[in-house]
Homo-oligomer: A and B are copies of this chain.
Amino acid sequence: MNQNKNALLLLTGISLFMAACGTSKTGLITIQEQGSFAVGGKVIASPGTFDPYKPTPAGQTFHGDHAYVFYQIPPKARKYPLVMWHGIGQFSKTWETTPDGREGYQNIFLRRGFGVYVLDQPRRGNAGRSTAAGTINPTPDEQQWFGTFRVGIWPNYFEGVQFARDTATLNQYFRSMVPNVGPIDIGVTTDAAAALFQKIGPGVLVTHSHSGGMGWLTAIKNQNVKGIVAYEPGSGFLFPEGEVPAPIEMAGGQMAAVGVPMSQFMQLTKIPIIIYYGDFIPEKPSDNPGTDGWRARMVMARLWRDAVNRHGGDVTVVHLPEVGLKGNTHFPFSDLNNLQVADLMSKFLKDKKLD
């Protein structure tokens, strides 16, 4: 009895210590430094002389096209921080609290000891100061995203989908989008991302969907990108000029590849890259545009893997159902099984000595 009591006291002591200092999954998060900054961008100016007493645009400047970054660094952080870049129509929220209120990759990898930088790309979200004009109309589009993001075929959820089925979750999900304040400009976005890696030094880039292709370009622009984890890259697969495959037909369009000079392409052979795709991607062409596009993109991703590896690279494509993770949508990192999805990423980082 006394022994049990002592053991209990010891355990209580350990628990209290962990509660005070720990970084366990349910315990406290400890942060050595956190903050935010703008990075990259440009300055435009109106000609003339500024008159502070009768101000007009004359002689004034406009700083825009930067990315906005919020970062957190834990104590004794691992070797490389993670830079997390959202996909189309999204912003940093992608990596934060999940639509059903659980922890996303921001917290998960902070708890695992990584510095985490979440980015809003230029002309989106908190980086909304665009040097190009834009008109924004609130066009109802959410049922289509429900399909494109492979939650289901509206109004039905996919059987076994890793997505909570309550209305509060769907409400948060739909509100996690923001419009493009100005036109998407791949040069502008990748310049800003490259400027971020210039500022912070070596790190690992984690991309999603539309940022996948921009991620390859960023790695070409800045060699501080030491590895890439790409969730469901959706466009911009870069092949050497002369080796560009034919576009792949898909419901409602084509998936086309992009040619770049060999010298640029070869940068992508120098870092480990892993690509993940989730579930509900048809093997054969389908008339559902929500899922068929992902079939075409995964085919293209495998062609790209083969091209990079043929030139000496290290690209892996993982179709999650093939390694036992079923039911994932286009957002595996925020799906109900995101801790398991994160475990795969942790293993990749460890295997490639990126942690």
Contact = CB atoms under 8 A, between A and B. Distances in A.
Nearest to A70: B96
A30 B30 CA distance: 5
16 contacts: A20-B30, A21-B21, A29-B30, A37-B172, A41-B175, A44-B138, A55-B289, A57-B139, A62-B139, A68-B175, A91-B126, A130-B136, A131-B138, A133-B137, A136-B182, A138-B182
A201 interface: no
A38 B175 contact: yes
A179 B135 contact: no
Interface string A13-54: 000000111000000111110111110010011100010110
A120 B174 CA distance: 17
Interface string A136-153: 111111111001000001
A282 interface: no
Interface string A170-193: 011011111101100000000000
A175 B348 CA distance: 36
A327 interface: no
Nearest to A47: B140
Given A38-B171, A125-B128, 15 more contacts: A28-B32, A29-B31, A35-B97, A37-B101, A38-B172, A44-B138, A50-B144, A52-B153, A52-B290, A59-B143, A63-B174, A68-B175, A92-B126, A132-B138, A179-B181
